[in-house]
Amino acid sequence: MVKRKRTVLGSLAVAAALSLAPASSAFADTYWQCVPFARLLSGIQIFGDAWTWWRQAAGKYETGFQPKTGAVLCFKPTGKMKLGHVAVVNQVLTERVIQISHANWSRIDGTRGQIEKDVTVVDVSPQGDWSAVKVWYDPVRDLGGSTYPTFGFIYQDTTSRTYAASGLSAAQNTAISMAQSAASMAQSAASQMVTAARPGAGPMQMLSQAADSSDRIAALIQAATQGSKNQDNN
């Protein structure tokens, strides 16, 4: 059995490690989903539910069936994991064993939405093509009992490697700043709605909560950056 070196990082620590200072106030207490975390760590600019990444990567990123450091492993949706899952390859240990970083997988101290680093994943596919894997599950301190089907790996390009090295692209930082500014300007009106929905919550917490499963903040960032590109093209 391959022993996994376990490191669980809190959201604030990850934000610091990934140079997210411009957005730290918005993400400090975030319940992390796998999609925004994988995008931050890999720099691969795909948005939307995890199971759609493989289709969206076609014609935009190279894909394949062998692991590479920095690549995103894209899981197929299953009955228990209807939206699929994405994880970033930290290192390739053998032809059949890799370590990944991902979010919202194991329950750490009884809670989800946390980030795990250096998680062992084993290829159990008959053909050795990584189409079926087992993943370390922290509560049992072993590989989980389930086998997960995968689409394959989405590989970084030069741009995504640059994004990954800086943590966030300048365009993303700008878009988040725009969202924060808009939230601040709307605070008076939003506070009444927040109080009614959840006393004590703030506008940025609402944005964070809204991003959980559908990745709405990511979609907002995409729209903002796309708008900037369109302006550049005009």
Amino acid at 43: G
pTM value is 0.64
Residue with tokens 């809190």: 10
Most distant CA pair in the chain: distance in Å?
59
> Which has more pLDDT, 48 or 219?
48
pLDDT band at 150 (very low <50, low <70, confident <90, very high): very high
The two three-digit tokens of residue 135, written as one number:
């993943």
Q: Residue range 218-225: average pLDDT?
A: 53
- pLDDT of residue 49 exceeding 70, the answer is yes
pLDDT band at 206 (very low <50, low <70, confident <90, very high): very low
What pLDDT is recorded for position 84? 97
Q: How far apart are CA 58 and CA 202, in angstroms?
A: 39
Closest CA to 46 of 229, 218, 230, 231: 218
Residue with tokens 């959840």: 198
> Which has more pLDDT, 207 or 160?
160
Q: How far apart are CA 83 and CA 78, in angstroms?
A: 8
What pLDDT is recorded for position 189? 47
Q: How far apart are CA 224 and CA 31, in angstroms?
A: 23
What pLDDT is recorded for position 37? 95
- pLDDT of residue 6 exceeding 50, the answer is no
Q: How far apart are CA 103 and CA 112, in angstroms?
A: 9
Angle among Cα 35, 8, 209 to the nearest 5 degrees reads 40
